[in-house]
Each structure stands twice: as structure tokens, then as C-alpha cells.
Structure 1
Amino acid sequence: HRKVAAEAALQGGSSRRMPTMFNWEELMISKLLRRTFVAATIVAAASGFATASKAQSIADIAAKGTVTIGVLTGIPPYDTVDASGNTDGFLADMARDVAAALGTELQIVPVNNASRAAALESGRVDLLIAQMTATPERAKTFLMTNPYGAYEMRFIGLKDTKIEKLEDLAGKRVSVPKGSTQDVAVSGYGLDGLEVVRFDDDALAMQALISGQVDATAAVATVAQDTIKKRNLTDLEIKADVPIFTLYWSMAVRKDAAELHQWLNNFIYYQEVTGRINELHKKWVGVPVPGGKLPSF
């Protein structure tokens, strides 16, 4: 078309044909762009439908016949290993109750502080019962349920290590599980010389204290007390004068699992009012859930 228009112009033909030819070419390009846009819209819509079809529902879990639950390990007395080498304990019992209420089989996937979020995001597990606190930051990524348990976070150190006030941590090395709530808390103290040493889970953070790699660790008080008792670590103590915080554990599901999230809230409510949560907590930890009635949000 450009050639025809150029020859017409050289031969003295009407120059008004050139815009006509070029307009026709633009029309064809416009049609092509519209077709491309429509195709892209269809693909996007199909993609949207595909995403929507992956939204996790109770019916989806019932259809596959198994609920896969990530359970935090390495935090006795909340977890242990049975005679067959399988994960057991308070969290495992909670997972069993969830599966029973759903009417499905249960697959427990052991996770730690470092791997639990990725296990849920990737779809490796349907939900987490992994002692996650419902922080605003985590709520950006997951749907966090009402709490099913509570804990007191404390410092643990040698008896001759003076930690009577927060300032006593200046110049000390403190171990924490990487990405945990105690990691966030201790890292935010801003004390001169305080070094936060991160490990993949609570057990490794505690072992760092036992082996002398750090001066103290930040841990759940009941977990620390259980470790001290079972391993006869008479030179260690919980530093009760410097509480870190008392917080709560929530279950977690993916953002597209709103129905499952609501069902779990109902499940937790029922477990509490029937006394089942305290029953399981006393079975494994020796005492009821600290703090009395669990909050909801």
C-alpha cells in the first residue's frame, strides 16, 4: 500500500489517496490489536476462573478424603514422638480432632519455624497448627483463626547470669528461632551490644544455650521448664523478672480458604466451650491453657 501511494504521488495523482491507504492500514492494525486484546482478556478470564477454582473449600477437602496439617515439632511438651516414630502431642491431638470433625483421614506434616509458612503457601499442607501468633504482618499473607492456645515467653539462662531487668541483656548473645515472635521482640530492644543469634527452630535455639554458644535464649516458659526437668539442667533457670510477653497461638490457612477459616473458628470455639482444649493441654503440658478464656477477633 505504501508503494501504490508513493507511485500515485510521483505521477501527480491525487494526494488524497495516501491518507486513505494509510488509514486502511491503521484500520487493519487496529483490528489486529483488538483481536489481541480480546484474546488476552479471554486468557485473563480463564486464568481468573482457574484461580477461583483453586479456592479451598470444605467440600474440596472432603472430596480428597484427607486433610493435610502442618504441625510444629521440636517443642516438647507440646509435641513428642510416639513408639512408631510419628509426631504426637498437644498439637497432633488438635490435628486429629480437626480431621475427625471434618470426617476425613489425617496426614500430619512436621514443620519448624523456618518452613511452616512455605509449606502452607506452596499447598503442601491445607492448614497449620504450628503455634503461630496472629501478628498483623502474618495476617497480610494468611487467614489466622481465633486462638486455640496461649503461652508465656521468657528468657532462660544460667543461674549465675544476671538478667533481672531488660538492660541486663546489653552485651549478651541471645538465641531465638528465626522469624518467630521472640525474634521480632528481642531484635527490637535496641540495646547496645545485644546480639540476636537465629536458629531454625526452638530446639536448636535452646541447644545453643545448653552448649554455651549464647548467654540466654527466648523461649516458651513451659517448653523451657520441660527441657530443664527432663534433661536435669540444674544450672539453668527461667528469668521470671524479665517477662517478654504473653501471646496466643492461632491456626493458619491460605487467603483463598475463607470457608475453611470460618469453619476452624467454629471448631475452636466448640473445643473451648466443651473443655476439650484444656483437657488436651493438661494431658500434655500438665496445666490448663494459661490466661483463662481464649480471646476471639
Structure 2
Amino acid sequence: MKLQRLFSVTCLTLAVTFAGFSGPASAQGANVLQVATDATFPPMEFTENGARTGFDIDIMNALAKAMGKTVQWTDIDFKGLIPGLIAHRFDAAISAIYITDDRAKVVDFTDPYYAGGLVALVKTDSPIKALTDLNGKKVSVQVGTKSVNFLRDNYPQVQRVEVEKNQEMFDLVGIGRADAAVTGKPAAYQLARTRGGFRVISQQLTTEQYGVAVRKDEPELKGALNSALARIKADGTYAAIVHKWFGADAQ
């Protein structure tokens, strides 16, 4: 799945590629929050019947409402989220982004809004039963995500198959060109529930937190988002969104 997703400090240089865009998104309207996402990662963010939907979408809309704002969305590939944020293309990014030390060097994060982690997804009839069985196998991962560096550092015998889109990871497993996919827990369980023919190895590779990314020069926005998160947790809105999207898998 999309996050489990890792950018190095070099994203600072990548941000230069966005320099041609207009000034700070926040200047476009005091009551509008400009937010970017990569809507290809169900159930966190995806499109259905032409509309953007998902857990992260509902969370951000609820946060904005608690702040007295509305959201104007920007769709962008995951690898462009942090460079685009640094370049002031938008005010915030929410897209199942794991809070990591490397990312925290270049952007700030809100308080965590959900716990996820990396898991391995395989076909139902796969002989892979445990994480140690991944060694020597072909494992698909999405570029720009934490999965890439995690496998490189912890499972050096794995043959990584790096793809641009989240769905490509799953498709490669489905047609047998990869033995497994390493992605975020919500997306893996969503696929296993809805597509059939897949299962998730019960042991997680990591357990991590998702956060909303903001620029380091926007401490007020970070504080406002954290206050809004506390409010939607206190009034039951957050619990209702969690139940809507994850149900029994919420814990």
C-alpha cells in the first residue's frame, strides 16, 4: 500500500522543479485549505464514480470543517507530494504518509491520526507463509514509499520490483510476475477483502503512524490542524469515520 512511503532529504532539490508554479496556496483564500493527495490508494484515498473518496479524504474534510474551512484538492503522484508542498503548491498533504525521521527533516507533521504499518500481500495459494519466506523472492513496491528502503535495509535478499502506481504492485502479484507486494496495512486488507485471491501475512513488517504533512514555516497551520483533530476525536466524528472505512480492522 500508498506510505509506508519514504522521501530522503534530496526532496529539497526536487522541489526546485516546482518553482514555476504560482505563490503560496494559502494566499488563494483564507477560508480555503489547499490539500494534495494521490488518490490511488484505497481505502485511504481513491476515486469512485468520478468522485474522490476514502478515509484520508473524510478525515481532511472533517478537519477543515472544524477549522471553518473548505478543502480544495490537488491530485498528484505520491512522489511529488513533499516537493510540491515545499514549493508552496498547496498548504498540506494527506495521502497515507508515514511520519518518519527523514521526512521530518524537511516538513512538519501533525499529531498522528491513524496507526498503520507495512505488511506483505500474497496470492491465496502462495507458499509464502512468513516474512522470512520473502528472501530470494520478487517483491513489488511503489517508488517513493517506505517499502523500498525498508526492504533494501532489512531484506537485502529480496528482489525488489519497483513500480510507479500502487495498483501496479497488486497486478504484478496477481499475474505471477511478483511473489508478493509490500504495502500499507489498510490498502492490503482492502484489496484482500474486495478483490479476492489474495491474503495478507499476519505478521507486520512495521507499525507506524500516519500524519498530515505541512511546511515547517507554517506552525500556525500545524497547530490549527492538531486542535481540529482533537475536536473531531472528542465529538465522535473521528470514531465514525474510522468505523465507516475499517470496521473490524480498525484496531
Please tell me the TM-score bracket, short chain as reference: 0.7 to 0.9
Q: Counterpart of 2:149 in 1: which secondary structure? A: helix
User: In the superposition, relative to structure 1, how do residues 266 and 62 fare at CA in structure 2: closer, same or farther (>3 Å)?
Assistant: farther
Paired with 1:183 and 1:266, the residues of 2 have a C-alpha distance of 33
How far the C-alpha of 1:136 sits from its partner, in A, is 0.7
Paired with 2:155 and 2:184, the residues of 1 have a C-alpha distance of 22
Paired with 1:101 and 1:61, the residues of 2 have a C-alpha distance of 20
Paired with 1:222 and 1:132, the residues of 2 have a C-alpha distance of 12
Paired with 2:188 and 2:219, the residues of 1 have a C-alpha distance of 35
Identify the residue that residue 145 of structure 1 maps to in structure 2: 110
How far the C-alpha of 1:222 sits from its partner, in A, is 3.1
Contact map agreement 1:68 1:108 (CA 8 A) in 2: yes
User: In the superposition, relative to structure 1, how do residues 104 and 275 fare at CA in structure 2: closer, same or farther (>3 Å)?
Assistant: closer
Verify: 1:170 aligned to 2:135, yes or no.
yes
Identify the residue that residue 76 of structure 1 maps to in structure 2: 42
Paired with 2:40 and 2:145, the residues of 1 have a C-alpha distance of 14
Verify: 1:262 aligned to 2:227, yes or no.
no
Verify: 1:99 aligned to 2:64, yes or no.
yes
Q: Which has the larger radius of gyration?
A: 1
Query: In the TM superposition, what are the counterparts of 1:1-297 in structure 2 within 5 Å?
Result: 63-83=29-49, 85-192=50-157, 194-231=158-195, 233-234=196-197, 236-240=198-202, 242-287=203-248, 289-290=250-251
Taking CA–CA contacts closer than 8 Å with sequence separation of 6 or more, which of the two structures ends up with the larger relative contact order?
2
Percent identity between matched residues is 23
How far the C-alpha of 1:165 sits from its partner, in A, is 3.6
Moved over 6 A (4+): none
Contact map agreement 1:278 1:289 (CA 8 A) in 2: no
Partner deviation per Cα, 1:166-210 (whole Å, 9 max, x = no partner) = 332221111112121222221212443x11122223222222212
User: In the superposition, relative to structure 1, how do residues 210 and 162 fare at CA in structure 2: closer, same or farther (>3 Å)?
Assistant: same
Contact map agreement 1:281 1:287 (CA 8 A) in 2: no
Letter in 2 for 1:144: F
Q: Counterpart of 2:95 in 1: which secondary structure? A: strand
Partner deviation per Cα, 1:129-168 (whole Å, 9 max, x = no partner) = 1111111100000011110111242111123433334332
Letter in 1 for 2:119: R
TM-score of the superposed pair, with normalisation by structure 1: 0.70
Q: Counterpart of 1:119 in 2: which secondary structure? A: helix
Paired with 1:268 and 1:288, the residues of 2 have a C-alpha distance of 21
TM-score of the superposed pair, with normalisation by structure 2: 0.81
Letter in 2 for 1:221: K
How far the C-alpha of 1:288 sits from its partner, in A, is 6.7
How far the C-alpha of 1:120 sits from its partner, in A, is 1.0
Structure 2's unaligned 5+ residue stretches are 1-22
Q: Counterpart of 2:120 in 1: which secondary structure? A: strand
Paired with 1:99 and 1:82, the residues of 2 have a C-alpha distance of 22
How far the C-alpha of 1:61 sits from its partner, in A, is 5.8
User: In the superposition, relative to structure 1, how do residues 212 and 101 fare at CA in structure 2: closer, same or farther (>3 Å)?
Assistant: same
How far the C-alpha of 1:82 sits from its partner, in A, is 4.2
Paired with 1:103 and 1:62, the residues of 2 have a C-alpha distance of 16
How far the C-alpha of 1:128 sits from its partner, in A, is 0.9
User: In the superposition, relative to structure 1, how do residues 82 and 173 fare at CA in structure 2: closer, same or farther (>3 Å)?
Assistant: closer
Q: Counterpart of 2:112 in 1: which secondary structure? A: strand
